[in-house]
Amino acid sequence: MPITAIKGMTDIFSPEVELWQTIEARARELFESFGYREIRTPIVEKTELFARSIGEDTDIVQKEMYTFPDRKGTMLTLRPEATASIVRAIMQHRLYNIPTMGKFFAIGPMFRYERPQKGRYRQFHQIDAEVIGSKEPIVDAEVMYWAMLFLEKIGIGSTELHINSLGCEECRMPYKRSLVDYLKKYEASFCRDCQRRINTNPLRVFDCKIEKCKEIVKEAPRILEFLCGECQKHFDSVRFFLDQVGCSYTVDHHLVRGLDYYNRTAFEIIASGLGAQNAVGGGGRYDGLFKELGGPDIPAVGFALGVERLMIVLGENLPGHEIKKPDIYLIALGDDAQKTCFLIAQNLRKKSVYVEMGYELKSLKSQMRRADKFGASYVVILGENELVKGVAVLRNMTTKEQFELSLDGIEKTLAEKIKKE
RNA sequence: GUGGGUGUAGCUCAACAGGUUAGAGCACUGGGUUGUGGCCCCAGAGGCUGUGGGUUCGAGUCCCAUCACUCACCCCA
């Protein structure tokens, strides 16, 4: 096997690909009900876009991006997430000026140079949604509701919605200070990773899986106690609307997001069966991002679902997926018969009949076996004898009944027969 | 980047404590009377045992290295 796919990048083919198609179709349907419009942005962007939006100091930007110069030396990056590109596109085309266009969705591949493991790949796919132009908490709630409803619709019922508020600039700084002060007191007791985190990204200490660290963190100050009046009001309101639609959730004080642009509402959807990578989706509010990227001051909320992770969670409970079976399998015996069959096949397909045919001139027996493997409903046999008589044999594969059909207008006869069933 | 696990036929797996031409099931190809599928029967094809070294009279089996896959850390969807 000389050339294989790149590490962490997978080929998707039947029968899984059909499942991908339905998942995507369901997402599109549901987006439509909520008024989302699709947006397709390039997979490659200038590196600067991601560096500025996601944050220079984040892991994604520091060590996980596929970055390379193009032939003129411009630094480009394969998108590691969708939000930055979408925000860029909205700004570039001033889409925020169109009153009916505030909700966008995108489905496609993302790239991160990480060590692959269960539920984590270097090329992975996201279903992404972004709502721009409103700072209202009602939107946050609706966005989360979409995600939970979608999961339910595709058969993933047992998930947990975790929410938290990250506050705004005003309340986050005092909180961070207070948290760092607290953590520093116990610095020596933390694991090496956490000791590092205290300085680099103190909020992440909450995620540590080591018992000792968890123990200390339990008593740490909570962001929610530091929220300013506005942020508190916002968060309460988000909760109110979630309650109203019967969307259950847990407030997770430890929930932190790895991208710098989030503020206020942050959420994650956790599912079992995923191993260590247990989030099927996550998102939050990013009111400052447009401005940060040099655009107008436009508030926004968004989220992404990991398609591969959805697949893992669906696991065995995949919605039954029948691969389409041919209506007719054409068997030709001999060169002349094959020429006629070829024409019949194409004519039938023009009439939207699913036709398979034996391209190899093999024995009738082996062609019948192949027709059976395809699960064809009917087989049409055309050999020398039939050709002379100007007929073809039609065999019903379930009843085993067979009779001759005139070759004259045979496509019409067959197409009508198929459509009647 | 750091650890652990695993690499034998297209797939799923065998091969006693190192011992002849590495096996099975499924899948594949052909056949079981001239041109009729599923079940069954027969036959066939398919592997430099991931790769490279080493130990040994002898290595799929033991050792080292390397690569790939996988799980976990880290981080995230």
Q: Look at residue A180 and tell me if it is in a domain.
A: no
- Residue A1 above 60 pLDDT? no
pLDDT score, position A320: 58
- Residue A214 above 80 pLDDT? no
Question: Does one domain contain both A269 and A365?
Answer: no
Q: What is the per-residue pLDDT across A14-37, written as a single tens digit (0 to 9) for each?
A: 888 888 999 999 999 999 999 999
Could you tell me whether strands A250-251 and A159-165 are parallel, antiparallel, or unpaired per DSSP bridges?
Answer: parallel
Q: Look at residue A392 and tell me if it is in a domain.
A: yes
Greater confidence (A127 vs A274) lies with: A127
pLDDT score, position A139: 97
Range of the domain at A332: 328-420
Q: What is the per-residue pLDDT across A363-378, written as a single tens digit (0 to 9) for each?
A: 999 999 999 999 999 9
Give residues 276-315 of chain A lying near strand B (Cβ < 7 A).
276-283, 304-306, 308-309
Contact A309, A271 (CB under 8 A): yes
- Residue A322 above 80 pLDDT? no
Question: Does one domain contain both A269 and A368?
Answer: no
CA distances from A19 to A14, A162, A354 (A): 9, 27, 20
pLDDT score, position A321: 65
**Average pLDDT over every residue of A41-60:** 92
Residue A399 sits in a domain whose CATH number is 3.40.50.800
Length of chain A equals 421
Q: Look at residue A46 and tell me if it is in a domain.
A: yes
Please name the nucleotide lying closest to A384, CA to C1': B35
Question: Does one domain contain both A309 and A339?
Answer: no
CB A57 within 7 Å, strand B: no
The 8-class DSSP code of residue A79 comes to -
- Residue A411 above 90 pLDDT? yes
pLDDT score, position A317: 63
Which of A272, A298, A317 is the endpoint of a domain? Answer: A317
How many folded domains does chain A comprise?
A: 2
Chain B bases under 7 Å from protein CB? 1-3, 28-32, 35-38, 68-77
pLDDT score, position A395: 95
- The complex's ipTM works out to 0.86
Amino acid A216 CA to nucleotide B14 C1' distance, rounded Å: 52
Question: Does one domain contain both A244 and A292?
Answer: yes
- Per-residue pLDDT band for A201 (boundaries 50, 70, 90) equals confident
- Residue A65 above 90 pLDDT? yes
Which of A317, A337, A360 is the endpoint of a domain? Answer: A317
pLDDT score, position A198: 77
Question: Does one domain contain both A290 and A402?
Answer: no
Q: Look at residue A212 and tell me if it is in a domain.
A: no
Question: Does one domain contain both A161 and A268?
Answer: yes
Q: Look at residue A209 and tell me if it is in a domain.
A: no
Q: Look at residue A409 and tell me if it is in a domain.
A: yes
Contact A379, A329 (CB under 8 A): yes
| DSSP per-residue codes, A20-77 | HHHHHHHHHHHHHHHT-EE----SEEEHHHHHHHH-TTSHHHHH--EEEE-TT--EEE
Question: Does one domain contain both A282 and A365?
Answer: no
Q: Smallest Cα–Cα separation from A143: which of A54, A294, A249?
A: A249
Q: Which residues does A223 contact at the CB level (< 8 Å), separation at least 6? A: A164, A165, A166, A167, A171, A172, A175, A253
Question: Does one domain contain both A239 and A369?
Answer: no
pLDDT score, position A319: 59
Question: Does one domain contain both A407 and A277?
Answer: no
CB A192 within 7 Å, strand B: no
Greater confidence (A98 vs A276) lies with: A98
Amino acid A1 CA to nucleotide B9 C1' distance, rounded Å: 15
- Residue A238 above 90 pLDDT? yes
Number of other CB atoms surrounding residue A399 within 10 Å: 7
Contact A338, A352 (CB under 8 A): no
Contact A395, A381 (CB under 8 A): yes
Number of other CB atoms surrounding residue A377 within 10 Å: 18
Q: Smallest Cα–Cα separation from A287: which of A89, A104, A87?
A: A87
Question: Does one domain contain both A292 and A364?
Answer: no
pLDDT mean across residues, chain A: 90
Q: What is the per-residue pLDDT across A151-192, written as a single tens digit (0 to 9) for each?
A: 999 999 889 999 999 998 888 888 888 888 888 888 777 777
Question: Does one domain contain both A137 and A233?
Answer: yes
Q: Look at residue A183 and tell me if it is in a domain.
A: no
Question: Does one domain contain both A282 and A337?
Answer: no
Residue A249 sits in a domain whose CATH number is 3.30.930.10
Which of A256, A283, A317 is the endpoint of a domain? Answer: A317
Q: What is the per-residue pLDDT across A259-274, written as a single tens digit (0 to 9) for each?
A: 778 899 999 999 987 8
Q: Which two tokens stand for residue A149?
A: 């409803």
CB A398 within 7 Å, strand B: yes
Q: Look at residue A196 and tell me if it is in a domain.
A: no
pLDDT score, position A318: 62
